[in-house]
Amino acid sequence: MGFTLSTEAQWLLALGSALFWTMAYVLLILKGFRDRTCGMPLAALCANLAWELLWAFILPFHPVQQIVTVIWLALDGVILLQLLRYSQNGLSPRTLRITVGALFAIALLLHVGTAVELHDPQGKYSAFAINLMMSLLFIRMALIRGRFGQSLGIAWTKMLGTLCASLWSYSLYPHSVLLNMLYVLIAAADGTYILLLHKDATRVVPTKKKKNRPSDFTFL
C-alpha cells in the first residue's frame, strides 16, 4: 500500500531533492578542482548528461523541472570539463573525446528507448537507474582511491537528495515493483558508500600526496 501526500508535501520533497542534488554537484566540482580530478565515473557522467539534455530541451514535462534540469546540465558540463582536463590517464585527448561521445550516444538511445517502451515521459525509470549505477560506481571509486575526489558531504547530499526523490516518487507510483526495488537498492548502496568514506576518513595513515595516480580515472 502506498501513502498519500499533500501537494505541499510533494513540492517540499521535490525541492529537497533539487537542493540536495545541486549541493552534491557543487561539492563534487569543488573537490574535483581541489584534488585535480573528476569525482564522477565516466559512465555515470555520460548517462547523466544524456538524461539532462533530453528532459531539459526535448522532453520537458514541467517548467520548474526544466529549470532545475538545465542547472544540473550546466554543473555536469563543468564536471565533464574536469574529466577532460584532469583524468586522461594516458589516453590521448582524441581517444577520450571519442569515448565520451560514444557513451553519451549510447545513453541517449537507451533513455529514449526506455521512455518509449515503459511509457515514461518523465524519465523516472532512467533517472533512478542512473542513480543506482552512480551509487555502485561511487562505491567502486571509494574502494579504489578512498576520499580522493570524494567526500562525506558529497555522499550525504546525494543520499538525502535521492531519499527525497524516492519518497516523492513512491507516493505517486506505490505499486511499481521496479521503482520500489530501485529505491531500496540505491539507499543500500548510498549507505555503503557513506560507511566506506567514513572508514577511510577515520583511518590513521601517513598522508602522501600523489599526482596523476594510476587510479585517477575510471571508465566505470
Residue 2 belongs to some domain of the structure? no
Residue 1 belongs to some domain of the structure? no
* pTM strictly above 0.85: yes
Residue 212 belongs to some domain of the structure? no
The grid coordinates of residue 171 equal 507516493
Residue 217 belongs to some domain of the structure? no
What's the whole-number mean pLDDT along residues 27-51? 96
The pLDDT value recorded for residue 92 is 83
Residue 218 belongs to some domain of the structure? no
The pLDDT value recorded for residue 203 is 73
Residue 15 belongs to some domain of the structure? yes
Residue 215 belongs to some domain of the structure? no
Give Cβ neighbours of residue 14 (< 8 Å, ≥ 6 apart): 64, 164, 165, 168
Measure Cα distances from 206 to 141, 159, 174, 203, 209 in Å: 20, 30, 49, 10, 10
The pLDDT value recorded for residue 6 is 87
The pLDDT value recorded for residue 201 is 83
The grid coordinates of residue 145 equal 582511491
Question: Which residue range forms the structural domain that includes residue 63?
Answer: 7-201
Residue 208 belongs to some domain of the structure? no
The pLDDT value recorded for residue 212 is 47
Average pLDDT, the chain: 91
Distance CA 104, CA 215 (A): 22
Please give the tally of structural domains in the chain.
1
